[in-house]
Amino acid sequence: MLSKTLFQPMSFALAIAAAMTLPVSAAETLVPLDNLLDDNAATSLADAIASDTYGASAGTDDLGVVTVIDAGHSQAMNTAVTIAPGLSFDYSSVGGGSVNPRAIQNDRWGNPEPIRTTGTSTGYTTGGKIEDGLGMHANSLITFDLNALRSAGLESTAALFTAYYDQNDDQAANGSHRGTVVVSDVYGNVIAGYVNGQKVDVTKAGGVWSFTGTIPGTQNGSAATGVNFNVGLAKNAAYITLAATDTDVTADHAVWSTPLINAAPVIQLGNLFDDANTATLWNALATDTYKASAGTDDLGVDTLQSGNLDVAQNLNTGGVQFNFASAGGGSASSDGLVNDAIGAGGTSRPPLRLDGTAAGFPDSVDWDTKIEDGIGVHANRFVTFDLDEIRDAGDLGATGFQFTTQAGLNDSGIANNNNDGILAAVLLSDDTGVIAGYINGQLIDLTESGGIWSFDAINDTIPDKYTATSAQTSAFFDIFIDFDVKYLTLAAIGGSNINTDHVAFVDANLVTAVPAPVALPAGLTLLGAMTLRRRR
């Protein structure tokens, strides 16, 4: 039995606070990289973010900046150059040239040209700042030291780099160049490489790294369209290098618009239901198809179960079995495990809403309009997500997550008042067993017998079901998931009469989490923040 007395959420939170050592200013989760160009290395990250000097030039004395190649720091980029400590990179395969005509600047491409990326020169003016970002000529690069930023106040989690790369509007119909991103570690190894927003193979030969995969074509000013970069930064990522390249530098006015490090990217799990498991995480999150049904070929979806929750079922593809009968799991089920609604398609499938009342719930003629984000699950169904697949798809490395959701009886169930009641459950597991289980937001003891796991209804109390007449119809879940937890299961537990047992997991989100502490007060055994080992 895994006893919750060993793991109380509040005491554990206090243990984290007591055991973890972080920089005093470690609170920044959104960092506009362009704002760092006017701040020295001794500046706190909060102060650096607050200052935004128009036209400030890049230098290696700026906060977090370790390498600059531009007019003032000239090096040919058609041969190997050092882009980070111990890392040589050859940009010739992506058109690296020998001329570095201009300085890299904050919010400005040249002097007096501000950056603007609408794709047309119409209405372009030189009167001052228009858009946030970095302006650079082709054959320029800048490398940021992520560990220096973490020391200055960046939250020490896996993160996401985003930017829009395009030709500046002052030469909107001219120029051609490529934008590249290289992520590397402290040992001089490249973790990932991107060209024009696409992930491209990077290899090392003779001590020099280079792009060796299929290289996207140049970004042409006449195309009037840029590209989005979404680059995962694992916790072992130490450097990120932004570069623009081209052999002919004529009118190659490159812009990194709004280059941002987000140390708390939100992963909306329901958004994965319309994306193949070959998609990148960040592209998958960009699509949000209302009423998209979950399938095991979707990104991150490991296991689906419909009905028969009164007998043991495989909780994950690792073969771990779980029986929900002790919590009232039933055999009956109906259609419905979809994004943002209960059921898939048609006006008979209501949207998600957890106001806790039938008042104002839309008539069925309006059910094709989304109300809230999340996952709708009919009673006696569950979905299990493969967290490692999600980590890999986002280049997040061995990161932990914070999982949050408001879950309970959907307002459509209250409006119809025709159900036996439901429980919302969350389970964490790996390939060997179940790590922790929650019902209606409460941590519940687990037991295992004969290789089958279940909620321990003998030594613990199963919460009351939510019904249309309950004083409370939903609960908030806030669960830390450590890096070695492989699976996350969301389950709707119902009885035999499941007509409107509609369970909503509203805003079912993962956010990259601060690493677990390395030491805890006496009496607590830490094998990962949630992996206090299971004992029968």
Read off the pLDDT of each residue in 444-455 and give the average, rounded to a whole number.
Answer: 97
pLDDT at position 270? 96
Is residue 233 very low, low, confident or very high in pLDDT (cuts 50, 70, 90)? very high
- Tens digit of each residue's pLDDT (9 = 90 or more) over 194-224: 999 999 999 999 999 999 989 999 988 776 6
Query: Going along 26-154, which residue ranges are E strands?
Result: 30-32, 65-69, 80-84, 87-90, 105-106, 133-137, 140-145
Is 229:79 a contact under the CB 8 Å cutoff?
Answer: no
Is 525:8 a contact under the CB 8 Å cutoff?
Answer: no
pLDDT at position 216? 95
What average pLDDT does the chain have? 88
Is the predicted pLDDT of residue 316 greater than 60, yes or no?
yes
Is 66:84 a contact under the CB 8 Å cutoff?
Answer: yes
pTM of the model: 0.86
Is 214:195 a contact under the CB 8 Å cutoff?
Answer: no
pLDDT at position 497? 64
Read off the pLDDT of each residue in 361-387 and give the average, rounded to a whole number.
Answer: 92
What residue spans of 359-416 are helical by DSSP H?
A: 387-393, 411-416
Query: Going along 7-63, which residue ranges are E strands?
Result: 30-32
Read off the pLDDT of each residue in 78-96 and give the average, rounded to a whole number.
Answer: 98
Is residue 384 very low, low, confident or very high in pLDDT (cuts 50, 70, 90)? very high
In order of their start, the domains of the chain are 30-263 (2.60.120.1060), 267-361+369-513 (2.60.120.1060)
Quote the radius of gyration of the chain (alpha carbons, Å): 26
Is residue 27 very low, low, confident or very high in pLDDT (cuts 50, 70, 90)? low
Closest Cα partner for 271 from 394, 397, 436? 394
User: For the chain, how are helix, strand and coil distributed in percent, rounded to 5?
Assistant: 15, 35, 50
Q: How far apart are CA 440 and CA 81, in angstroms?
A: 56
Closest Cα partner for 59 from 72, 77, 76? 72
- Tens digit of each residue's pLDDT (9 = 90 or more) over 515-533: 544 333 333 333 333 333 2
Is residue 345 very low, low, confident or very high in pLDDT (cuts 50, 70, 90)? low
- Tens digit of each residue's pLDDT (9 = 90 or more) over 138-172: 999 999 999 999 999 998 889 999 999 999 999 98
Closest Cα partner for 342 from 287, 244, 415? 415
β partners of residue 82? 88
Residue 110 tokens read as 């040249």
Q: How far apart are CA 479 and CA 117, in angstroms?
A: 41
Q: Which residues contact 275 (CB under 8 A, 6 or more apart)?
A: 283, 284, 287, 298, 299
**3-state secondary structure at position 408:** strand
Q: How far apart are CA 199 and CA 182, in angstroms?
A: 10
Query: Quick count: other Cβ atoms within 10 Å of Cβ 222?
Result: 11
Q: Which residues contact 393 (CB under 8 A, 6 or more apart)?
A: 277, 279, 280, 281, 284, 299, 300
Residue 373 tokens read as 């984000």
Q: Which residues contact 347 (CB under 8 A, 6 or more apart)?
A: 364, 365, 367, 368
Is residue 3 very low, low, confident or very high in pLDDT (cuts 50, 70, 90)? very low
- Tens digit of each residue's pLDDT (9 = 90 or more) over 255-288: 999 999 999 899 999 999 999 999 999 999 999 9
Residue 194 tokens read as 């991107």
Is 31:156 a contact under the CB 8 Å cutoff?
Answer: no
Is 479:530 a contact under the CB 8 Å cutoff?
Answer: yes
Residue 389 tokens read as 């697949």
β partners of residue 442? 439
The separation between CA 363 and the C-alpha centre of its own chain, rounded to angstroms, equals 35
Q: How far apart are CA 172 and CA 50, in angstroms?
A: 31
Between 284 and 11, the more confident residue is 284
Is 324:491 a contact under the CB 8 Å cutoff?
Answer: yes
Q: Which residues contact 359 (CB under 8 A, 6 or more apart)?
A: none
Is the predicted pLDDT of residue 406 greater than 80, yes or no?
yes
Instruction: Please tell me what DSSP assigns to residue 55.
Output: T
Residue 323 tokens read as 């029986």
- What is 429-484 written as a DSSP string? E-SS-EEEEEETTEEE-EEEETTEEEE-TTTS-PPPPB-TT-S--EEEEEEEE-TT
β partners of residue 386? 487
Is residue 344 very low, low, confident or very high in pLDDT (cuts 50, 70, 90)? low
Is the predicted pLDDT of residue 289 greater than 60, yes or no?
yes
Is the predicted pLDDT of residue 350 greater than 80, yes or no?
yes
- Percentage with pLDDT > 90 across the chain: 74
What residue spans of 103-143 are helical by DSSP H?
A: none
Closest Cα partner for 79 from 185, 206, 214? 206
pLDDT at position 53? 97
Instruction: Please tell me what DSSP assigns to residue 312.
Output: -
Strand pairing of 198-199 and 190-195?
A: antiparallel
